[in-house]
Amino acid sequence: MPSTGSKIPPRFSIALAASTLALLFSFSSADAQSTGNHPWSNANLSPDERASMVVKEMTLDEKISLLHGTGMAGLSPLSPEIIHSNGGAGYAVGVPRLGIPGIQMSDAAYGVRMSGENGRYSTALPANIASAASWDLDAAYEYGALIGRELRAQGYNMTLGGGINLTREPRNGRTFEYLGEDPVLAGKMVGQVMKGLQAQHVLGDIKHYALNDQESGRNAVNVTIDKRASRESDLLAFEIGIHDSDVAAVMCSYNRIWGDYACENRYLLTDVLKKDWNFKGFVVSDWGATHSLAKSSAAGLDHEEPGWIFYGDDLKKAVESGAVPKSELDDHIHRVLRAMFATGVIDDPPVRSVPDIFGGLEIAQKIAEQSIVLLKNDQSLLPLDAAKIHSIAVIGPHADVGMISGGGSAQVDPPGGNAIMPPGKGNTYWQAHIWFPTSPLKTIRAKAPSATVQFNSGEDPSAAAALAKKSDIAIVFAYQWISEDMDLASLSLPDHQDDLIAKVAAANPHTIVVLETGTAVTMPWLDHVSTLVEAWYAGSRGADAVANVLFGDVNPSAKLPMTFPRSEADLPHPTLVKPPKETVEANSQGWKRIAEGLPVFQVTYDEGVKVGYKWYDAENKPVLFPFGYGLSYTTYSYSGLKVQLGKSPRVTFTVTNTGNRAGAEIAEVYASLPAAASEPPKRLVGWSKVKLNGGEQKEVTVEIDPKFLSIFNVENNGWELIPGAYTFMAGGSSQNLPLKETMNLK
Ligand code: BGC
């Protein structure tokens, strides 16, 4: 894969440097301290009052030390203070004399990063895109809470997880770290993740703000989009997540937007985030995304990471000379301290402890089981009945030992090491393909103990097809690896897997395809495969979860959080815009060149608000599988729609489980706006996950936030309900909405 080359030297050396230091100097006394006996130790005071009291006592140097990181090899110089780093991506020095701990930050998208390298343990949850497929707000809370507990157990007090960029470009290498293409689904889910996490007294973070929707040339690209469209799409996801969780931090992204870098973009950071949304936390730059001092500070950037190219001595001089007003500096530090008091990291600092590994694995499995999407089951081949099967062929790269995971700064070190490496040799490093040691072959064998279960890697498709031919059932595990710092050239499965699937399916009509992907894939073989399951990057217990779904111990309930298009030609941008060659070369000159600013290139999101299903709907383009789609081993029917208008409209209907098997149906509610609103045909406005026994029915009411029915009026800078006819629709996917009612809103 081409790399944008923005991490030079590669991250693994950075990680090694940090972890070695962490081992040498295991913990900073500054970090172990709680507030002690200070006036602001009084937890009955508000976080704002407590922060203001501390700000008054701080020297200029102390303030500045909390406004920047202590460095990362390859991205900035290193401070001597880095010896107190806990081994994570960021560390900011605290003020021990005032009882203010340092901030120990770790990436923790689907689990705590770099635990292996630091000699620790963390659970790898299913990837974020998978968790979005559960549409389960309680599971999202649990997801965040688990990460929060494991961060604390390892001595961290801040996460850098919380990715929420919309899947505007499914080839984006970070799609697995995000929560899909819809702002309401993504915003609600990340809000719950952050609530669960912050309840553990860890600083939360939502990122990458904003419109960092492709990795290619992320340090150089200038993104333009219609302002209204931005507020109704990517920014709406942030608005919801921040509102719901009162998150401690927002990470501004690498790219430029409307000509200004995100981390010095006054409209984004101050006008929208801090004023319109009343965000009380602090803005942290992505690693090396700061490009100026006075401009960034005035625009609303509070904290520079990973170093102090701008927010160190230069900030001090600027405050002393008045180039940066003292009030501006105090606002930055107030925000950091307020977030620390509000989240509890000062009153209840992390204490290292033995993590609950068994509990973690159980949660990882439970969430994976709720995340696996059954896409096709035409012959009702699933669930498999072990008693009736004599032989199974398990086919596909490494399906004997593991399942693939997503790379980059989200990468979790799998307990047990990389499954395809000899024990002890499975170190993770930047852009390595990491296979979690969770073996589909083993879990399938355990489910069908009296069947002959044989494995073929698929390297030779004809040999795999021959094994399939002599087996009752063939299960092909197909993978697609993605990572930060790259985009996919296409949505095709790599390594000739399309050919493998076609050959196996031709040899055995009872072929099941299980996808391990972090985004959509194209499927030239789809008409010849009757049974298809999307398992995503399924985490530490992925193989157990998949086997439970295949053999019916779990009835699948997940629904796609993103559209699977028929081909790249149907995307809003059939060709992904790559940086010009000079930009890539300029990157290789390192962080100084990035900080100064790389030559710009342009990406224009002229599809505007039409992200994902809104695009395919508006353009009348058929898709492979639509947003919100997913099957079950039972069936559901919908009836009796009633819409009650009011401050928050209420949509009520009945869902019936028309089969015998218990299940959970994600009942989705969409609305179309009056023609005068000029919006795509429909938008998701709410949902409810309904558990139903066989034959059972339940009445469901979904209350709709009026904002989700509104348009953003740029002139008035506010959300506005357009009078006219609104159609409310309910059903099991964005393209299967049997209930419909039109009402007039005045
Ligand atoms: C990524 C962030 C990450 C940071 C620290 C950056 O390259 O874009 O998502 O949190 O590195 O590792």
Tell me how far apart the alpha carbons of residues 720 and 716 are, in angstroms, rounded to a whole number: 9
Separation of CA 549 from chain center: 24
Where does the pLDDT of residue 588 fall: very low under 50, low under 70, confident under 90, or very high at 90 and above?
Answer: low
Dihedral angle computed from the Cα positions of residues 408, 413, 418 and 419, in that order, rounded to the nearest 10 degrees? -120
Write the pLDDT tens digit of every residue in 317-375: 999 999 999 999 999 999 999 999 999 999 999 999 999 999 999 999 999 999 999 99
Mean pLDDT of the chain: 94
Tell me how far apart the alpha carbons of residues 434 and 407 are, in angstroms, rounded to a whole number: 8
What does the pLDDT average to over 161-177? Answer: 98
| 306 Cα nearest atom in ligand 1 | 5
User: What pLDDT is attached to residue 494?
Assistant: 98
Tell me how far apart the alpha carbons of residues 630 and 556 are, in angstroms, rounded to a whole number: 8
Query: Which among 269, 275, 277 has a CA at the least distance from the CA of 239?
Result: 277
Tell me how far apart the alpha carbons of residues 306 and 89 are, in angstroms, rounded to a whole number: 8
8 A C-beta contact, residue 726 and residue 676: no
How many angstroms does the Cα of residue 626 sit away from the middle of ligand 1? 31
> What φ, ψ does residue 450 adopt, rounded to 5°?
-100, 0
8 A C-beta contact, residue 619 and residue 662: no
User: What pLDDT is attached to residue 585?
Assistant: 58
Strands 158-159 and 90-92: unpaired
User: What pLDDT is attached to residue 535?
Assistant: 99
User: What pLDDT is attached to residue 170?
Assistant: 98
Nearest CA to ligand 1 atom 7: 287
User: What pLDDT is attached to residue 415?
Assistant: 87
Nearest CA to ligand 1 atom 10: 160
Give the residue, 18 or 494, on which the prediction is more confident. Answer: 494
Structure tokens at 78: 């290193």
User: What pLDDT is attached to residue 26?
Assistant: 39
Nearest CA to ligand 1 atom 11: 287
Query: Which among 562, 554, 555 has a CA at the least distance from the CA of 536?
Result: 562
Tell me how far apart the alpha carbons of residues 151 and 107 are, in angstroms, rounded to a whole number: 10
Strands 531-534 and 435-436: unpaired
Give the helix ranges, DSSP H, for 581-644: 581-587, 591-596, 613-618
Angle between helices 461-469 and 497-507 (to 10 degrees): 30
Q: Which residues line ligand 1 (CB under 6 A)?
A: 89, 107, 160, 207, 286-287, 409
8 A C-beta contact, residue 645 and residue 652: no
Among 12, 409, 485, which is best to mutate for testing ligand 1, by the most ligand atoms less than 8 A from CB? 409
Strands 473-480 and 636-644: unpaired
What does the pLDDT average to over 674-695? Answer: 98
How many angstroms does the Cα of residue 255 sit away from the middle of ligand 1? 13
How many angstroms does the Cα of residue 6 sit away from the middle of ligand 1? 11
Give the residue, 19 or 226, on which the prediction is more confident. Answer: 226
| 6 Cα nearest atom in ligand 1 | 7
Query: Which among 10, 203, 202, 21 has a CA at the least distance from the CA of 118?
Result: 21
| 90 Cα nearest atom in ligand 1 | 5
| 409 Cα nearest atom in ligand 1 | 12
Q: What is the DSSP letter of 210?
A: T
Where does the pLDDT of residue 6 fall: very low under 50, low under 70, confident under 90, or very high at 90 and above?
Answer: very low
Residue 12 has pLDDT above 70, yes or no: no
Q: What is the DSSP letter of 570?
A: G
Reduced 3-state DSSP string for 405-429? CCECCCCCCCCCCCCCCCCCCCCCC
Place of tokens 């952050």: 194
| 205 Cα nearest atom in ligand 1 | 10
Write the pLDDT tens digit of every residue in 185-201: 999 999 999 999 999 99
| 212 Cα nearest atom in ligand 1 | 8
Dihedral angle computed from the Cα positions of residues 407, 412, 415 and 416, in that order, rounded to the nearest 10 degrees? 20
Nearest CA to ligand 1 atom 6: 287
Burial of 37 (0-12, 13-18, 19+ CB in 10 A): exposed
Write the pLDDT tens digit of every residue in 590-611: 788 889 899 999 999 999 999 9
How many angstroms does the Cα of residue 39 sit away from the middle of ligand 1? 36
| 177 Cα nearest atom in ligand 1 | 9
Residue 24 has pLDDT above 50, yes or no: no
Tell me how far apart the alpha carbons of residues 488 and 483 are, in angstroms, rounded to a whole number: 9
Nearest CA to ligand 1 atom 3: 409
Amino acid, res. 505: A
Where does the pLDDT of residue 587 fall: very low under 50, low under 70, confident under 90, or very high at 90 and above?
Answer: low
**pTM for the complete prediction?**
0.95
What does the pLDDT average to over 151-165? Answer: 98
Write the pLDDT tens digit of every residue in 685-698: 999 999 999 999 99
Tell me how far apart the alpha carbons of residues 305 and 107 are, in angstroms, rounded to a whole number: 13
How many angstroms does the Cα of residue 119 sit away from the middle of ligand 1? 21
What does the pLDDT average to over 243-267? Answer: 98
Beta-carbon contacts of 652 under 8 Å, excluding residues fewer than 6 positions away, are 640, 641, 642, 643, 644, 699, 700, 701, 702
Query: Which among 692, 670, 691 has a CA at the least distance from the CA of 681?
Result: 670
Structure tokens at 634: 């039972």
How many angstroms does the Cα of residue 13 sit away from the middle of ligand 1? 15
Beta-carbon contacts of 341 under 8 Å, excluding residues fewer than 6 positions away, are 40, 47, 50, 51, 347
How many angstroms does the Cα of residue 363 sit away from the middle of ligand 1? 26
Among 107, 250, 261, which is best to mutate for testing ligand 1, by the most ligand atoms less than 8 A from CB? 107
How many angstroms does the Cα of residue 14 sit away from the middle of ligand 1? 13
Write the pLDDT tens digit of every residue in 53-92: 999 999 999 999 999 999 998 889 999 999 999 999 999 9
Strand order through the sheet with 601-604: 260-261, 256-257, 221-224, 601-604
| 7 Cα nearest atom in ligand 1 | 7
Nearest CA to ligand 1 atom 2: 286
User: What pLDDT is attached to residue 162?
Assistant: 97
Among 91, 147, 159, 160, which is best to mutate for testing ligand 1, by the most ligand atoms less than 8 A from CB? 160
Among 253, 263, 286, 430, which is best to mutate for testing ligand 1, by the most ligand atoms less than 8 A from CB? 286
Q: What is the distance between the terminal CA atoms of the chain, rounded to a whole angstrom? A: 53
Write the pLDDT tens digit of every residue in 519-530: 999 999 999 999
Tell me how far apart the alpha carbons of residues 186 and 165 are, in angstroms, rounded to a whole number: 9
How many angstroms does the Cα of residue 536 sit away from the middle of ligand 1? 22
Write the pLDDT tens digit of every residue in 118-149: 999 999 999 999 999 999 999 999 999 999 99
Structure tokens at 674: 């009056």
8 A C-beta contact, residue 181 and residue 411: no
Reduced 3-state DSSP string for 27-63? CCHHHHCCCCCCHHHCCCCCHHHHHHHHHHHCCHHHH
Amino acid, res. 503: K
